[in-house]
Amino acid sequence: MHDPYKVAGAFARKFGDAEYALKRSSRLRQNKDVAEADWDAFARDLGPDFFTAIVDKGIAKTLIGEPPRRLMNDLQWAPEISPPFTNVHELIVQGVCRVRNSYLHGEKFRGGPDGQWERDVTLIREAHAVLDEAITWWLQAMA
């Protein structure tokens, strides 16, 4: 396995670049005093065909089929079993963004059941691949 921190660092940098681009292209969350990228609007811009394309390419099988869960206030992961994603919003917001948040907020590479590190790396690699595809798709749509 490659160094998981290098894999995650590359994803975090790409995510930051994407967030910068979204803000500079007026994809900003409304009713906020601070500039925050609007990932919901980005998912809408990508549209349902993007989700279909990602499924067809097979580059996010774990991210889509066994999505990341959320760490709740009681420090339990929920839901116990995440249902597979069925649309572009889930893929971008509950997939790509959640993987980024889990990594940057310290919830990746902390142990867990057997295979958890490998799952963490897989989720990060797949989220990065989806983000790369999303940026390309979005730029082509804007051209």
Q: What is the pLDDT of residue 113?
A: 65
**Interval 51-106: pLDDT, tens:** 999 999 999 999 999 999 888 899 888 898 999 999 999 999 999 999 999 888 87
Write out the DSSP string of 75-119.
S-EESSSPPPP-SHHIIIIIIIIHHHHHHHTT-SSS--STTHHHH
Q: What is the pLDDT of residue 36?
A: 94
- The structural domains of the chain, with segments of one domain joined by +, span 4-142
Task: Give long-range contacts, CB 8 A cutoff, 24+ apart: 19-26.
Answer: 21/135, 25/142
- Asked if residue 114 has pLDDT above 70, the reply is no
- How far is Cα 5 from Cα 113, in angstroms, rounded to an integer? 19
Q: What is the pTM of this model?
A: 0.92
Please check whether residue 135 is in contact with residue 18, taking contact to mean a CB–CB distance below 8 angstroms: yes
3-class secondary structure, 71: strand
What are the φ/ψ torsions at residue 84 (nearest 5 degrees)? Answer: -60, 150
- How far is Cα 127 from Cα 50, in angstroms, rounded to an integer? 14
Q: What is the pLDDT of residue 78?
A: 86
Q: What is the pLDDT of residue 40?
A: 96
Q: Between 32 and 94, name the one with better pLDDT.
A: 94
